[in-house]
Amino acid sequence: MAFASAITGYSKSGDKRVVYGTYTNGSGDTGGDVNTGLTICEFITFTHKGTAVSASPVTLNETLPCPGSAVTIVTDDGVDGYWKAEGY
């Protein structure tokens, strides 16, 4: 299975949108593009999912603000998790 991300919900905070979702990595995958559904992503945070501690945090391979349709992340092999982004 390849890297995939999905939006699971959204809300508004003042004049900004807050979007959240999940990301999954197959065995041998170390990240990919998170599509936040935002035009501009100003902030994004990540939380690992699972019972084991990951050796490394998720790394954002972007300079914020960035286009929200392809926020590239780098993860440890096979690590899944959750994300939350804010922007327009």
Q: Per-residue pLDDT tens for 20-69?
A: 999 998 888 889 999 999 999 999 999 999 877 777 889 999 999 999 99
Residues 6+ apart with CB under 8 A from 19: 7, 9, 10, 36, 37, 38, 68, 84, 85, 86
pLDDT at 78 over 90: no
Q: What is the pLDDT of residue 55?
A: 77
